[in-house]
């Protein structure tokens, strides 16, 4: 018995060390970006970088247009991908016959393994010309094109998490609803969606993180324009694309230092979103979801 307890305690220590190491590495990344971007803070230029436009030839190194472009693409992609993913998850878990559901589930799994650059090539040769000809405006490389492609990229992640969340609902609860005469719609609204809300939020969080961190689609499809966007058909540059494009600049230049401002913003966005969803009171979240469904 004592040997078993020793193994358990050793396992706990190991897990604690691994967790502590992960937290340390995560915080070290933030400290690394702050230290290397320290000249921006000491020279009181960080606020200017966040609010100005990008015009190096005139001495302006603002990343405000890139912040707007990132928010526009990520928000639109999530608005497109979330209902699509939730609908596909319901289709796989509740509506399709077992054989068809299993086949669709495997196709979605396969989509998660497709390299991002493949999505980019498809976007350049198929989606961009379609958007250009359909709207008869611009080059086709725009917020809309990037958001459509990004929605396709993040949807498989959400679908798989949603399906697993639905599958985790206790079978006894499903049988109880069926015994009470509940139809499929009532099962979905009053059992599956409230019961799987933690999984739904997790899938949304993972998809948001991937959308914020994607670089290849933004580089290949968004257009990399440095001007502030005014419509969904305007080309934009995202924060991640800016980091990739400016990486070759002089290390001591302000232009290079702006990539650390971009990194800090992306880090804080992701951390804030994660902490908000993780520490949001369960009762408040459940009551709001139930009111929205009623």
pLDDT tens-digit profile of 155-201? 999 999 999 998 888 888 888 877 877 787 888 888 888 888 888 88
Per-residue model confidence (pLDDT) at position 224: 85
Domains and CATH numbers, the chain: 66-293 (1.10.3720.10)
Per-residue model confidence (pLDDT) at position 83: 92
Per-residue model confidence (pLDDT) at position 150: 93
| 57 confidence band (pLDDT: 50, 70, 90) | confident
Residues 6+ apart with CB under 8 A from 152: 81, 119
Decide if pLDDT at 284 tops 60.
Answer: no
Residue 23 CB neighbours (<10 A)? 10
Per-residue model confidence (pLDDT) at position 282: 47
Per-residue model confidence (pLDDT) at position 7: 55
| 245 confidence band (pLDDT: 50, 70, 90) | confident
Per-residue model confidence (pLDDT) at position 258: 81
């Amino acid at each position: 018995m004592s040997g078993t307890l020793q193994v358990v305690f050793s396992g706990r220590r190991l897990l604690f060390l691994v967790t502590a190491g992960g937290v340390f590495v995560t915080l070290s990344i933030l400290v690394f970006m702050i230290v290397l971007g320290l000249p921006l803070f000491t020279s009181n230029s960080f606020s200017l970088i966040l609010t100005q436009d990008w015009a190096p030839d005139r001495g302006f190194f603002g990343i405000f247009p890139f912040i707007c472009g990132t928010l526009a693409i990520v928000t639109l992609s999530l608005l497109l991908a979330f209902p699509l993913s939730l609908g596909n998850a319901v289709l796989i878990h509740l509506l399709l016959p077992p054989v068809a559901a299993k086949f669709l589930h495997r196709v979605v799994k396969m989509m998660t393994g497709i390299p991002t650059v493949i999505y980019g090539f498809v976007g350049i040769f198929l989606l961009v010309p379609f958007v250009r000809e359909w709207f008869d405006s611009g080059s086709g490389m725009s917020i809309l094109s990037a958001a459509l492609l990004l929605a396709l990229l993040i949807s498989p992640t959400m679908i798989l998490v949603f399906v697993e969340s639905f599958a985790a609902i206790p079978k006894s609860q499903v049988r109880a609803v069926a015994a009470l005469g509940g139809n499929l719609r009532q099962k979905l609204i009053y059992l599956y969606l409230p019961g799987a809300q933690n999984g739904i939020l997790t899938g949304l969080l993972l998809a948001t993180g991937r959308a914020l961190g994607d670089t290849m689609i933004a580089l290949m499809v968004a257009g990399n324009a440095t001007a502030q966007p005014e419509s969904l058909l305007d080309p934009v540059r995202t924060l991640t694309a800016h980091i990739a494009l400016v990486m070759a600049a002089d290390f001591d230049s302000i232009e290079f230092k702006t990539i650390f401002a971009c990194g800090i913003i992306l880090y804080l966005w992701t951390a804030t979103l994660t902490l908000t969803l993780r520490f949001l009171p369960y009762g408040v979240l459940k009551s709001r979801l139930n009111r929205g469904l009623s």
